Structure 1
Amino acid sequence: MASSENLKRTEKLQLMLDEEELKAIDDWRFENRMPTRAAAIRELLRRGLLATPHFEEPDTDDASTRDFGVVDEKVRATLGDETN
């Protein structure tokens, strides 16, 4: 984990989520006792980047941003369908 003394965050990222996606992130945050929503999202991004070798490449041919979401059938199954 990076030392907070040496960490300078200078870039802002805007991300639009629907209610179901935000609920899934917030539920994960509280279950894992993360201090903030931003910290939870950073940790989820870190885990996703570390897990990249274990996944197939995404199909990006003719894909739009709507083709990429946070919550899908696999996530719903993992969360016990609590996101509905």
Structure 2
Amino acid sequence: MVKPRENRVPIMMSDEELKLIDDWRYKNRVATRSDAVRRLARIGTAVDEWVDTADQQMEAAIESFLKTTIGGSGEFPEDKLQYYNDIWNALTDVQLLVGQVSAVASEMRKRADVEDAIDVARTRRQAFIDEKDFQVRRRLGLLRKGEE
């Protein structure tokens, strides 16, 4: 059942922001712009609650992978290297996405400019992934000459 809406919240938006909302609205078959804004606000607050936990869990999974594969002797049978590399690539793909969402949420809490927050977040997350990727590839002997 729909709760009565008793509060009006007038807001100003740029043409670009309105286009983003309208595009999302049409893609998701939402009847009105107002309903689209309400739904996007609910999605945003839900994601904001969950994203930091998801990011922490992904970082823990990566650390666990690093400990399991790189910790210890570091001696891997040759036939396992591709297997480890495939797992590493899958983990970093997911971590990059989850981490970027988390970083954007974190930066948007601090910054007024959304585009600036997104740029800072992408740079920060990519640096994290690049460092972890370098550690794994170096340890597994997957670096090309000159990369070290």
Same fold (TM over 0.5): yes
The residue that corresponds to 1:9 in the other structure is 5
In structure 1, C-alpha distance between the alignment counterparts of 2:16 and 2:37, rounded to whole Å = 15
Identity of aligned residues (%): 34
**Partners of 2:44 and 2:8 in 1: CA distance:** 20
Q: Which has the larger radius of gyration?
A: 2
* DSSP 3-state at the match of 2:106: coil
Q: Please report how far the alpha carbon of residue 56 of structure 1 lies from its aligned counterpart in structure 2 after TM superposition.
A: 2.2
Unaligned runs of 5+ in 1: 61-66, 75-84
The answer as to 2:14 corresponding to 1:18 is yes
Distance 1:26 1:68 in 2: 21
Aligned residues, how many? Answer: 62
Structure with the bigger percentage of helix: 2
- Segments of structure 2 that go 5 or more residues without pairing to the other structure are 52-104, 119-148
Candidates 34, 52, 59, aligned match of 1:38: 34
Q: Which structure exhibits the higher relative contact order, with contacts defined as CA atoms closer than 8 Å and separated by 6 or more residues?
A: 1
Q: Give the TM-score normalised by the residue count of structure 1.
A: 0.64
In structure 2, what residue type is equivalent to 1:25? I
In the aligned structure 1, how far is the partner of 2:46 from the partner of 2:27? 21
TM-score by length of 2: 0.38
Tell me the CA shift for residue 8 of structure 1: 1.2
Q: CA RMSD in A?
A: 2.0
